[in-house]
Chain A
């Protein structure tokens, strides 16, 4: 970043900082309000509760699985959308936006209905899904993957196509060009896509509530815990769990980004 040499540049940066500052202040303000509303006892009680520890484990594990799966799917989809054209591409593009646009509850309901069809029942015969842990991951994946796809597509869009073309003229196949030239450059994008999917999955609630239920020690994730505590009028516990979730999420996101930066992403 260059030093602002001019007083007008400084004014401009201050103008930018004003917006940034206001938004950051809003977020920090909410967290401070939360922190003053709850008590150390409520935080401690939340940490000691076996149910909440289970919900935290399930939340973090399922979100990580979802993030990995999302990146695996997002890389080929993003690459196809960015580098190829095919009939119906606009339609496919639109379909991939549906999980982002639809109200989360509708995603859950649609999954629930899908698994009552003969196809769904056949899958249930192999692996029970509805109201079980796989339904949590599937509900998270259905939404989070769409965000990862958007990120990967922008990543490939922004990578210059030239090196890939050069590789092709040098006799590489498309697959070789993808594996050896394009993909190694997309690491930063893949990390961003994974983290976005992870954060999205961690906060996912609507579809899980409908498709997985909020069964204690089984399909309860942290957002369900917050909602359950709110439903029984236990605001202190709801806030305590929210704060723990925020702390854990920030730690993971900041650490992952730092690791990415160190690798040159």
Chain B
């Protein structure tokens, strides 16, 4: 039998256990998350480089006020966040302090779209007034200067500085002169601010965030600028909402001013529109090759792209008459050249060989261009002023010295603005032969036969060009990127186009 006092102590133990259980339950109850943050549309998760907190937080707050979309921001080092994302595979957005991380994220298949926000340049950070009179590299190496560096393996600025100084052959001297290497640029700036070092190699934007510091620019470091970027993650379940936030953050009149106010050199951005409406002029031959890609782009980005498909000669006339498309996907470089002053240089995406279509079984025995001048044929050609294929056809006959023979033959019974129209005429059986693009013929191959044209000039190349006047150059660069991806290429391939983009574009 336990004694009375022992019984009392046992009851005390029981009381402690029950008490701690009640306390535990009560505490857990107070931590219940009252916000529903699962997959609601008004909610995004952003993994953000910690040093970028001030501009990102104020822009995100403004975005929530304007559009009611809450952005949950998790901070960390760019590299640490990337490692976590690789493992956890959740979240919508990743904002890296340096584009090497977003490149890595894209290579590893974690990120899809990448938006540039600001640029940073390495500089020497010193106390305001530059008390040590630092102006050149040799000033940093003097005995009276305590120099700090960011660790080149851990911090982006350290890496940029090491690359630049290794090129100029000064890295060994500089790294030996340093009294300390810190893991992040902000650690280094904090040391500068505290006065425990006299000079530190940091970003210009870091210096701008401290009133007590100023920058000294070194010519050796001028070519080492890096970018702050935000990416939409492959894991995002709300890519359209994520993209809309990225567009906001990277717009010159919405998110970027927040970065400028905090001392960053903002990137060139689009103008902010909640739902941009873009106008795209495209050569008629591209219709089947690009329309699905553009529709997918519209859906993912949450914007609208009005496509005007037509013969390129007509499109050029419309532009000369005042039409102002945001971008032009031309049937052939020659037509882009006619309006080159309106556009940035084009990126050639595809090419299209020219072919002769003949009746099934080739009853007229047509095997080359000259055969089209033979007696008693009815042939259709594209109009030499209204369309790219017409110009190329005319040039082809001229180069072969056949122009006069063709005219004398009287065989041309039809000229049309588009290749598709010629193909339809062919299918009705009213013509013996037409010259069109391979892509025009793709749909009709069961009804007609195809004769390849081997002359080097028998091909058109299709460049995509962005207008100088557009308010959405970044968005259009993403559209271009969409055209160069694998699924888009498959559509071009299926239609018989050649491919002029050996690799997917690196960045927009």
Task: Output the residue of B47, B186, B194 with the most chain A CB within 10 A.
Answer: B186
A-contact bits for B164-199, CB 8 A (1 contact / 0 none): 000000000000000000001011011001100000
Beyond A61-B30, A68-B23, A71-B20, is A131–B88 a contact (Cβ under 8 Å)? yes
Least CB distance from B78 to A in Å reads 11
Kindly state whether residue B317 has any CB partner on chain A within 8 Å: no
Indicate if the CB atoms of A233 and B209 lie closer than 8 Å. Answer: yes
Indicate if the CB atoms of A214 and B75 lie closer than 8 Å. Answer: yes
Interface residue stretch chosen among A6-14, A153-161, A180-188: A180-188
Main secondary structure of the interface of B (DSSP, over half): helix
Indicate if the CB atoms of B13 and A179 lie closer than 8 Å. Answer: yes
Q: Which of A65, A115, A180, A233 is B206 in contact with, Cβ under 8 Å?
A: A233
Beyond A210-B80, A233-B209, is A130–B28 a contact (Cβ under 8 Å)? no
A-contact bits for B129-152, CB 8 A (1 contact / 0 none): 000000000000000000000000
Kindly list chain B residues whose C-beta atoms are within 8 Å of the C-beta of A218.
33, 37, 72
Least CB distance from A192 to B in Å reads 14
Indicate if the CB atoms of A64 and B27 lie closer than 8 Å. Answer: yes
Interface residue stretch chosen among A92-100, A224-232, A248-256: A224-232
Kindly state whether residue A242 has any CB partner on chain B within 8 Å: no
Least CB distance from B155 to A in Å reads 12
Interface residues of B in 56-103 (CB under 8 A from A): 57, 72-76, 80, 83-84, 87-90
Number of contacting residues on B, CB 8 A?
44
**Quick one: closest A residue to B49, CB to CB?**
A231
Indicate if the CB atoms of B88 and A214 lie closer than 8 Å. Answer: no
Kindly list chain A residues whose C-beta atoms are within 8 Å of the C-beta of B9.
184
**Quick one: closest A residue to B52, CB to CB?**
A232
Indicate if the CB atoms of B75 and A112 lie closer than 8 Å. Answer: no
Interface size class of A (residues with CB under 8 A): 35 or more
Beyond A179-B10, A210-B80, A214-B76, is A68–B30 a contact (Cβ under 8 Å)? no
Beyond A210-B80, A215-B73, is A112–B186 a contact (Cβ under 8 Å)? no
Interface residues of A in 213-241 (CB under 8 A from B): 213-216, 218-219, 224, 227-228, 230-233, 235
Least CB distance from B189 to A in Å reads 5
Kindly list chain B residues whose C-beta atoms are within 8 Å of the C-beta of A228.
50, 53, 75
Kindly state whether residue A116 has any CB partner on chain B within 8 Å: yes
A-B contact count (CB 8 A): 108
Kindly list chain A residues whose C-beta atoms are within 8 Å of the C-beta of B51.
231-233
Indicate if the CB atoms of A131 and B27 lie closer than 8 Å. Answer: no
Indicate if the CB atoms of B88 and A130 lie closer than 8 Å. Answer: yes
Kindly state whether residue B503 has any CB partner on chain A within 8 Å: no
Kindly state whether residue B408 has any CB partner on chain A within 8 Å: no
Least CB distance from B76 to A in Å reads 6
Indicate if the CB atoms of B90 and A184 lie closer than 8 Å. Answer: no
Indicate if the CB atoms of B53 and A235 lie closer than 8 Å. Answer: no
Q: Which of A57, A133, A184 is B33 in contact with, Cβ under 8 Å?
A: A133
Kindly state whether residue A73 has any CB partner on chain B within 8 Å: no
Bound-state CA distance A118–B186 (Å) is 39
Least CB distance from B70 to A in Å reads 10
Beyond A61-B31, A232-B50, is A116–B193 a contact (Cβ under 8 Å)? no
Beyond A71-B20, A132-B33, A184-B6, is A116–B87 a contact (Cβ under 8 Å)? yes
Q: Which of B47, B84, B187 is A210 in contact with, Cβ under 8 Å?
A: B84
B-contact bits for A60-80, CB 8 A (1 contact / 0 none): 011011001101100000000
Kindly list chain B residues whose C-beta atoms are within 8 Å of the C-beta of A138.
none
Beyond A218-B72, A230-B186, is A213–B47 a contact (Cβ under 8 Å)? yes
Kindly state whether residue A142 has any CB partner on chain B within 8 Å: no
Kindly state whether residue A56 has any CB partner on chain B within 8 Å: no
Kindly list chain A residues whose C-beta atoms are within 8 Å of the C-beta of B504.
none
Bound-state CA distance A218–B38 (Å) is 13
Beyond A65-B28, A215-B73, A218-B72, is A232–B53 a contact (Cβ under 8 Å)? yes
Bound-state CA distance A57–B30 (Å) is 10
Beyond A116-B88, A183-B13, A232-B50, is A58–B31 a contact (Cβ under 8 Å)? yes
Kindly state whether residue A144 has any CB partner on chain B within 8 Å: no
Bound-state CA distance A61–B73 (Å) is 22
Indicate if the CB atoms of B27 and A65 lie closer than 8 Å. Answer: yes
Indicate if the CB atoms of A64 and B23 lie closer than 8 Å. Answer: yes
Q: Which of B28, B50, B73, B210 is A231 in contact with, Cβ under 8 Å?
A: B50
Extra contacts besides A184-B6, A214-B74, A215-B75 (13): CB < 8 Å = A58-B31, A61-B30, A65-B28, A65-B31, A115-B88, A184-B9, A184-B12, A187-B13, A209-B80, A216-B57, A232-B50, A232-B53, A235-B190
Which residues does B use to contact A, with CB under 8 Å?
2, 6, 9-10, 12-13, 16, 20, 23-24, 27-28, 30-31, 33, 37, 47, 50-51, 53-54, 57, 72-76, 80, 83-84, 87-90, 184, 186-187, 189-190, 193-194, 206, 209-210
Which residues does A use to contact B, with CB under 8 Å?
57-58, 61-62, 64-65, 68-69, 71-72, 109, 112-113, 115-116, 130-133, 179-181, 183-184, 187, 190, 209-210, 213-216, 218-219, 224, 227-228, 230-233, 235
The 5 closest A-B pairs by CB, nearest first: A231-B50, A184-B9, A213-B74, A215-B74, A214-B75
Q: Name 9 interchain pairs, CB-CB below 8 A, sorted by A.
A: A109-B83, A116-B87, A131-B88, A132-B33, A133-B31, A179-B10, A214-B50, A224-B75, A232-B186
